[in-house]
Structure formats: structure tokens, C-alpha cells
Amino acid sequence: MNLVKVMKPKMSGFDIHGRVYINEQGINAQYSGPSKDALAYVEWLREDHRFSDILVQISPASNGHAFPKLKLRYKPSLLEGGISHIPLLDPLLRATALAPSEWRKRLEAVNKIDDASNENSNANCILLDVRNGYEWDVGHFRGAQRPDVDCFRSTSFGQSQSEVIVSDPLANVDKEKTDILMYCTGGIRCDVYSAILRQRGFQNLYTLKGGVSHYLEKEGPMEWIGNLFVFDSRLSLPPSTYKTEAVSETSGAHQVSEGSTFARCYICNSQLHELRHRNCANLDCNLLFLCCTQCLKDLRGCCCLDCTSAPRLRPVLPGHQRYKKWYIYRDMELQTNSTAYRLRLIHHIIILSTNLCIYAKIFLTLK
């Protein structure tokens, strides 16, 4: 809380928009701004010995700010799902961080296919994507698996309970001999999951230092398929955003291939070539999902048939536009309802005035 008080007046001098969350475990910051201000904030932050070695990933925002405003606040949990109880600062629970170059070597070994058996040649290594499902939908490392969980509080993967074995990539693996390679966008979720798995007895845990964005900056899109999801108005970025010169060297290795099991329309499961999410038009659903043009038209921007009959529907947004904050549409609905009520009242008054003028005067007086 004290750091928030110290940081607030300092940040008011920077042209910065974004989300900066702080607590006793660390800082989770995503922000945009002119290069001068964005880098000046980093240098100021590094003056604090606790953040002296902080790793910062940078990508261009061509249309100005990627966030509508600045949110600077203390949060008991740096990530959604409740992690304040997890001892993230305990060095004994941390996984071994691999530099992007070492990570690439490990991936190439994991994904080396045995020509005879057509199976993964490294059975003692599992590559885990610990991001959210909607992040996985637009891109991930080749050969990766994703636990079917999005909430840290309820996560059960790695426990090998009979009811979760089907969706648990760590079910029945040897906890002492199997290498677990985990990655996420920036590295924070990996620290959380490594602590969870370490407490559950897994010995050989490795993470990608700096996350996917740092890897793409250093190694390019080698072993990566699709785009990288980002938590701002841009939604997803192609690998070329991070390292332009590397794209031609990979001969399109990052492109989505036909028959891929991801990058599919959430509604009809057809293959998509434009990797960009949209929110359900149903204000009370707001699901973030991928959608083809036909389903977008047929369901009027909704994620399912049920949502099309919801009482609070937002207009379908063309192109890459995104919905504004929910309360804007709530207030719009109230305003629309109020206008409709006044129109009905006026209509009623006009009808009454043609019959009994005294009734019309009573309505006007009560109004």
C-alpha cells in the first residue's frame, strides 16, 4: 500500500495508461505510452532494489494508447483466481528459469518426431501452456498441452484424481523423473503454477524466462504457431511484432496450418485465419471468443443461440472494434427505456385528449 502512495504522484507526471497492480509479492504491470515516458517509468522503478532486475517486454502500439486510462492500485492477488496464499517468494518452490535460447533447444528436442513410431521421442518431458484458454486459442508452442483449468483457486491438475485424469496432462506421470516445461505470456503465471506443482511433489520444473513475449523477441517464432494474445485493445500480435527479421528465416513456421486443432470458430468449429477475439454481444455473458464471419452474422455477435434472446444485447461491432465498458451500455439501456416510456406516455396523452381533455391535463400534472 505504501508503494502505491509513493508511485501515484510519480506516475502522474508520465503519459502512461494501463494497469499496475502491487502487493507484498511483487508488481504486475501492463501499460502503454510514448517511449520517453514508458522507459522513464521503468528506470525509476529499477531504482528500487526490489525491482532492480525486473524484465520488461516492449511491443509497438501503432494507434496510440492501448489502454483507456491508468489504473494503479493495491491488490491482494496479482492475478485473478486467488493466489495470495501461495508462497511465491519462497526460492525453494520456484522452477528453474530457462533463457530463450535454452528453451528453444529443449523444445526442438521435445518436438523431435521419431520417423518409425511417429510419436514424441522425449517421453520424459511434458510441455505445459499454463495460460487461459482464450490465449491458447490464437497461438501456442508446438507440442504443448494445456490443463483444462483457468482458476488457480480450483486447479486440480497434477493431483491425478480419477475425475480429472482425462483433462490432466500430468496424470500418472513420474513426479521425480519427468521434466515439466511451463510457459505463459510474461512469466507470472508460471511462478504460481511452479509453486503449486512443487508442493504436490513434482521435482523437475522449468519455466521460460520472461515468458513468450521475451522468447519471440530473442528467438523469433521458432516452434511457435499462430499469434500471441495480449491483454489490451490490440488483443493479439503476430510474432513479427517482436522480431521482424526472424520471420523470413522461419519460412512461415508460425502460420496456422490447415487442419490445426486450434484457431477454430467457437460456434461452428470452422478453421479461422484471422486470429482475433470478440466479446459476446450479450452484456451479461461477455464471453471472449473466436468467431467466423458467418456465425457473427447469424447470431448477431453472440456466442450461442441462447444469448441472442438475452434482455441486454449490445450492437454488433464491425471490423476490429471493441465494446466499451459495460456501464456505458447499461446507461444506454436505461436511457432507451426512459425515452420509450416518454413516447408511450405522450402517445397515451394524445389519445386521451381526443376524447376527454381533462384526463390529458391530469397526466401532464402528474408528470
Beta strands in the chain (DSSP E): 17-23, 26-32, 70-74, 96-98, 125-129, 139-141, 179-183, 204-208, 224-226, 228-229, 236-237, 278-279, 288-289
All cell numbers assigned to 82: 486467488
Burial 214-240, CB ≥16 within 10 A → b, else e: bbbbbbbbbbbbbbbbbebbbbbbbbb
> Do you know the residue count of the chain?
367
| 209/186 Cα distance (integer angstroms) | 8
Say which residue the cell 495480449 belongs to.
230
What is the distance between the terminal CA atoms of the chain, rounded to a whole angstrom? 50
**DSSP conformation letters of 5-52:** HHHHHHHTTS--EEEEEEETTEEEEEEE--HHHHHHHHHHHHTSGGGT
Three-state DSSP state, 279:
strand
Residues with Cβ within 8 Å of 103's Cβ and at least 6 positions away in sequence, in order, are 181, 183, 208, 209, 215, 219
Q: Using CA atoms of 317, 318, 320, 323 in order, give the dihedral in degrees to the nearest 10.
A: -10
**Catalytic annotation, pick one of 125, 151, 184, 291:** 184
All cell numbers assigned to 70: 491508468
Nearest Cα to 205, choosing from 317, 66, 274, 106?
A: 106
- Quick check: is 184 catalytic? yes
**CA atoms within a 13 Å half-sphere pointing along the CA-CB vector of 141:** 34
Burial 298-332, CB ≥16 within 10 A → b, else e: ebebbbbeebbebeebbeeeeeeeebeeeeebeee
Q: Which residues are catalytic?
A: 184
